[in-house]
């Protein structure tokens, strides 16, 4: 692995991001999801769809290893983290944490008064989100074929650790 770089994505990254999502998300990483829900999510990861999501994102960033996209974070709105995905063979190397930290750094200047950031966590991703400071807002919910728990990160709570900037 070469040294990683982090940057906002551009349209030319859409095919690589699409490939990353298709490779990293499956029935194992989405436990409790129906096949239809998994297919629906993956259909939203086409290169054309990714181009549109990148263009309209409130925040998006990629982690790049050499010329290959190995991590991606997307917030369609600043208060909600829609997608964080890391190439399976690059997981547990701090990429997801670093992308999340960059999102919080961005919020310092773009939404300083935003107090809570939310995410829907699968059973597979729950421990990661807890490790980076998110707390449960709900039990696991089954909705439209998806199984997730809503989590929140309180940016203004002095008793919770604040992201390092």
For residue 112, what is the DSSP state? T
Provide the domain count of the chain: 1
Residue for token pair 């054309």: 48
d(CA 41, CA 145): 11
- Domain assignment present for 25: yes
Residue 83 placed within a domain: yes
DSSP 77: B
H helices of the chain, where?
Answer: 14-24, 35-43, 47-56, 95-110, 126-131
Residue 30: inside a domain? yes
Q: Print the domain residue range for 10.
A: 4-113
Residues 6 or more apart whose Cβ sits within 8 Å of residue 90:
1, 63, 65, 70, 71
- At 66 the pLDDT is 87
Q: Is residue 154 part of a domain?
A: no
Residue 144 is assigned to a structural domain of this protein: no
pLDDT of residue 8: 97
> Does any domain span residue 161?
no
Give 22's contacts (C-beta < 8 A, 6+ positions apart): 42, 45
pTM, whole model, 2 decimals?
A: 0.89
Q: Note whether residue 157 is domain-resident.
A: no
Q: Please, which residues have CB within 8 angstroms of residue 99's CB and are 6 or more apart in sequence?
A: 6, 61, 63, 71, 72, 73, 84, 86
Per-residue pLDDT tens digits of the chain, which is 165 residues long: 468 999 999 999 999 999 999 999 887 889 899 999 999 999 999 999 999 999 999 999 999 998 899 999 999 999 999 999 999 999 999 999 999 999 999 998 898 888 899 999 999 999 999 999 999 999 999 999 999 999 999 876 545 455 554
For residue 110, report the phi and psi dihedrals to the nearest 5 degrees.
Answer: -90, -25
14 in a domain, yes or no? Answer: yes
- We report the CATH number of the domain holding residue 46 as 3.40.630.30
**pLDDT (0 to 100) of residue 162:** 53
């Amino acid at each position: 692995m070469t040294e990683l770089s982090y940057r906002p994505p551009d349209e030319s990254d859409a095919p690589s991001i699409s490939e990353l999502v298709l490779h990293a998300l499956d029935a194992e990483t989405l436990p409790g999801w129906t096949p239809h829900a998994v297919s629906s999510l993956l259909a939203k990861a086409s290169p054309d769809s990714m181009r549109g999501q990148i263009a309209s994102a409130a925040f998006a960033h990629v982690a790049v290893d050499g010329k290959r996209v190995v991590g991606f974070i997307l917030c369609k709105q600043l208060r909600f983290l829609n997608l964080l995905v890391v190439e399976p063979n690059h997981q547990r190397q701090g990429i997801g944490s670093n992308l999340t930290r960059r999102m919080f750094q961005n919020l310092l200047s773009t939404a300083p008064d935003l107090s809570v950031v939310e995410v829907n966590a699968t059973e597979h991703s729950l421990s990661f989100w807890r490790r980076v400071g998110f707390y449960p807002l709900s039990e696991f919910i089954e909705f439209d074929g998806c199984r997730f728990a809503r989590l929140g990160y309180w940016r203004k709570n002095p008793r919770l650790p604040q992201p390092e900037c």
